[in-house]
A and B are shown apart, each in its own frame.
Chain A
Amino acid sequence: ELKVEQNPLFLSMQEGKNYTIYCNYSTTSDRLYWYRQDPGKSLESLFVLLSNGAVKQEGRLMASLDTKARLSTLHITAAVHDLSATYFCAVDSSYGGATNKLIFGTGTLLAVQP
């Protein structure tokens, strides 16, 4: 059974600092997703990573995927208050034929302090 773990669960950052959120998963998968969720809102898609070594960047966020280590990272550069939210990674539950059945991590609550 696929399990997805994120750490840390809670991250308090100062504006302007850098930090990384880690996502580990237990079985091989074809696809890894990163989502952002604001309080009381739905999920906003940030990145989809489809292959080993994939790296994607958007603004102050950069995501990478190492399928051999079953590890993805979400790196935050020079954090600003607007990045405060909960971040989820999710992994497609199948390998060799994606199913679009996503298994989500526990989420990382990011609070950026001035």
Chain B
Amino acid sequence: DAGVTQSPTHLIKTRGQQVTLRCSPKSGHDTVSWYQQALGQGPQFIFQYYEEEERQRGNFPDRFSGHQFPNYSSELNVNALLLGDSALYLCASSLIPGTPSSYEQYFGPGTRLTVT
């Protein structure tokens, strides 16, 4: 049973460029949440997707957008990259809140984004 997978593992981009990160949830899970973890800090919630729609959003600008596909996998897109976007991007998969065992959240290995 595959856990949460993310790609790529590492990425280096230049300021102003755009980037797409990918996440496949754990088998059986239908909800994907994205987090940004800057160096030395705790993860911060970006947004959450369920049924191909953004259900919740954290305090991030519109440069951060996402998508969920019918197979529950998800993408995180960041436009007009800034140096401050350099971070570890984590996705977490779960069942939709309100269902049994929805408290179980599994994090993927992360994508390390460096903006130069």
The interface of chain A, by Cβ under 8 A from chain B, is 4, 31, 33, 35, 40-45, 48, 50, 88, 90, 93, 97-107
Contacts of B104 in A (CB 8 A): 48
- Among A45, A88, A97, A99: residue with most chain B CB under 10 A: A99
Q: Contact: B107 with A43, CB < 8 Å?
A: yes
16 other contacts beyond A42-B108, A105-B42, A106-B41, with CB at 8 A cut-off? A31-B103, A35-B107, A41-B109, A43-B107, A44-B107, A45-B106, A88-B43, A90-B43, A97-B97, A98-B97, A98-B98, A98-B102, A99-B48, A100-B92, A101-B58, A104-B44
Partner of B56, one of A48, A88, A101, A107: A101
Complex Cα–Cα for A28 and B4 (A): 29
Closest-CB distance, A58 to chain B (whole angstroms): 16
Interface size, chain B (Cβ < 8 Å): 27
Complex Cα–Cα for A106 and B108 (A): 20
Q: Contact: B103 with A103, CB < 8 Å?
A: no
Binary A-proximity of B30-55 (CB < 8 A = 1, otherwise 0): 01010100000111110010000000
Contacts of B48 in A (CB 8 A): 99-101
